[in-house]
C-alpha cells in the first residue's frame, strides 16, 4: 500500500497546484561495499552492539577502499545521477558539492570531481554545511535555474566520514559512515521542488566540530597528539536541537504551502539516529511508515545521508505521482534545511 492511500481523502490542497520552482531530473547514490560492524567496533572501543543499536539504530557503517578519496565517492554517485537524468555531461552547466570531508582544504573537491568526470569550463565549488549541505545545495541550484543563469545543475553530497573518526572516542566513532548521493536539477524533471528554506544558528557552532587544521588551530604536533583533527560532538545537545528544529522546519514548510503536515507522504530526514527520526515523526504526528529510517547498514553519512535515503526509495519504485516528499536536514553549524518536492505525474 502506498502511504497516500491511508491518509489522504483529497489530493493535497494548495500544494497540488503550487508552481514548481525547478525539478530534480535524475538521482544516483554510491555506497562502499565494506561494512564496519558494531561487533568490529567492540574490539576497538569500550562499546557494544546492543548499546549502539538501541541508542542509534545503527548496526554497521560503510567504509570506502583505502585508496579512495571523497572525490571518488562523489564521481560514482554523480555518474549514476547523470545516467538517470539521461543527459550528456556537456548539458551540466554548474556543479555544487556539499562535503565536510573534502579531499583537502584547498582546492575544492568539486574541482577534482570536475576533472575526474571530464567536465570543461563550467563552474564548480564546494559548500560546507555538514548534514544540511544537500538541502542548501539544492537551494543554490534552484536559484541559478530560476534566475536563468543555469539549465542543469549537478548537486552532490559526498562524505568520507570514517577518515575523520577518532577510534578512541566511543561517543563519535560509532556514528558515522562513508557514502555519496547526487541529483541533477533542471527546469523539468521527476520531482518538482515546491518549497525550499534553510537556516542556521552560529551560537551552536561548537556542538559538532573538527577543531584542528583550520586557522584557529593550524595543524601542529600538538593538534596531532591531542587528536584535534577528528570529529567531536556533544551528542545529547545535538539530539534535542535536531528534534526541535526538524519538527519546526517541517511545520513551517506546511504552513507556507497551505497544507497540513499530515499531507506529507514521505519524510526523508537526515539520518543521524533512528531515535531522533522517530521523535520527529511523533512530534509531527506522522505515521512511522511515512518517516524514512535508512541508517541501520549505513550510519550517519552527513551531507550524503538525505540523497542516499531519497535515492534508495526512488530506486525501489516507492514514489507515486502527486505524492509530497519532505527532505529535512539538521547538523553542525548549527544549520538546517527543508525542501518539499512533488512527484511528477
With beta carbons less than 8 A apart as the criterion, state whether 338 and 327 touch.
yes
List alpha helices for 171-330, DSSP H. Answer: 221-225, 235-257, 274-284, 305-315
> What CA–CA distance (Å, rounded) separates 252 from 137?
20
Q: Which residue has the cell 568539486?
A: 110
Comparing CB distances to ligand UT7, the nearer of 93 and 169 is 169
Stretch of 8-16, 47-55, 99-107, 248-256 lying at the interface with ligand UT7 (CB under 6 A): 47-55
Comparing CB distances to ligand UT7, the nearer of 201 and 315 is 201
Among 55, 59, 244, 318, binds ligand UT7 (CB under 6 A): 55
Measured at the CA of 284, the angle between CA 279 and CA 290, to 5 degrees, comes to: 80
With beta carbons less than 8 A apart as the criterion, state whether 171 and 55 touch.
no
With CB atoms as reference, the residue minimizing the distance to ligand UT7 is 235
Q: Does 236 bind ligand UT7 (CB under 6 A)?
A: yes
Smallest distance, Å, CB 130 to ligand UT7?
Answer: 7
Interacting residues of 28 by C-beta distance below 8 A, sequence separation 6+:
77, 78, 79, 80, 81, 82, 83, 84, 181, 182, 183, 311
Among 28, 144, 307, 331, binds ligand UT7 (CB under 6 A): 331
Interacting residues of 67 by C-beta distance below 8 A, sequence separation 6+:
none
The DSSP secondary-structure symbol of 19 reads P
Between residue 256 and residue 295, which ones bind ligand UT7 under the rule CB under 6 A? 270, 272-273
Q: Does 108 bind ligand UT7 (CB under 6 A)?
A: no
Question: Residues in contact with ligand UT7, total (CB under 6 A)?
Answer: 21
Q: Does 131 bind ligand UT7 (CB under 6 A)?
A: yes
Comparing CB distances to ligand UT7, the nearer of 131 and 180 is 131
Among 37, 128, 166, 171, binds ligand UT7 (CB under 6 A): 171
Comparing CB distances to ligand UT7, the nearer of 189 and 269 is 269
Among 4, 23, 38, 56, binds ligand UT7 (CB under 6 A): 56
> What CA–CA distance (Å, rounded) separates 264 from 244?
18
C-alpha cell at 58: 545503527
Residues within the interface to ligand UT7 (CB under 6 A): 47, 51-52, 55-56, 131, 170-171, 174-175, 208, 233, 235-236, 238-239, 270, 272-273, 300, 331
Amino acid at each position: 500500500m502506498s502511504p497516500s492511500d491511508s491518509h489522504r481523502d483529497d489530493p493535497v490542497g494548495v500544494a497540488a497546484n503550487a508552481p514548481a520552482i525547478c525539478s530534480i531530473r535524475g538521482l544516483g547514490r554510491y555506497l562502499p561495499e565494506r561494512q564496519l560492524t558494531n561487533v568490529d567496533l567492540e574490539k576497538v572501543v569500550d562499546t557494544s552492539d546492543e548499546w549502539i543499536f538501541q541508542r542509534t539504530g545503527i548496526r554497521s557503517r560503510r567504509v570506502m577502499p583505502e585508496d579512495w578519496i571523497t572525490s571518488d565517492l562523489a564521481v560514482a554517485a554523480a555518474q549514476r545521477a547523470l545516467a538517470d537524468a539521461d543527459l550528456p555531461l556537456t548539458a551540466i552547466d554548474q556543479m555544487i558539492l556539499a562535503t565536510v570531508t573534502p579531499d583537502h582544504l584547498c582546492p575544492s573537491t568539486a574541482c577534482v570531481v570536475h576533472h575526474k568526470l571530464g567536465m570543461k569550463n563550467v563552474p564548480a565549488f564546494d559548500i560546507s554545511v555538514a548534514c544540511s549541505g544537500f538541502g542548501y545545495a539544492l537551494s543554490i541550484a534552484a536559484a541559478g535555474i530560476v534566475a536563468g543563469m543555469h539549465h542543469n545543475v549537478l548537486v552532490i553530497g559526498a562524505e568520507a566520514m570514517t577518515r575523520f573518526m577518532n577510534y578512541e572516542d566511543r561517543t563519535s566513532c560509532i556514528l558515522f559512515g562513508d557514502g555519496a548521493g547526487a541529483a541533477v536539477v533542471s527546469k523539468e524533471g521527476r520531482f518538482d521542488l515546491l518549497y525550499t528554506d534553510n537556516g542556521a544558528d552560529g551560537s551552536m557552532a561548537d556542538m559538532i566540530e573538527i577543531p584542528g587544521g583550520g586557522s584557529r588551530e593550524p595543524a601542529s604536533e600538538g593538534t596531532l597528539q591531542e587528536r584535534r583533527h577528528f570529529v567531536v560532538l556533544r551528542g545529547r545537545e545535538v539530539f534535542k536541537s535536531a528534534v526541535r528544529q526538524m519538527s519546526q522546519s517541517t511545520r513551517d514548510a506546511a504552513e507556507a504551502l497551505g497544507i497540513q503536515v499530515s499531507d506529507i507522504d514521505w519524510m526523508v530526514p537526515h539520518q543521524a539516529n533512528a531515535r531522533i527520526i522517530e521523535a520527529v515523526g511523533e512530534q509531527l504526528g506522522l505515521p512511522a511508515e511515512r518517516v524514512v529510517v535508512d541508517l541501520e547498514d549505513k550510519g550517519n553519512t552527513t551531507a550524503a545521508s538525505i540523497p542516499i535515503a531519497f535515492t534508495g526509495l526512488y530506486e525501489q519504485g516507492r514514489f507515486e505521482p502527486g505524492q509530497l516528499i519532505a527532505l529535512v536536514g539538521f547538523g553542525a553549524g548549527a544549520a538546517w534545511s527543508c525542501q518539499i518536492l512533488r512527484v511528477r505525474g
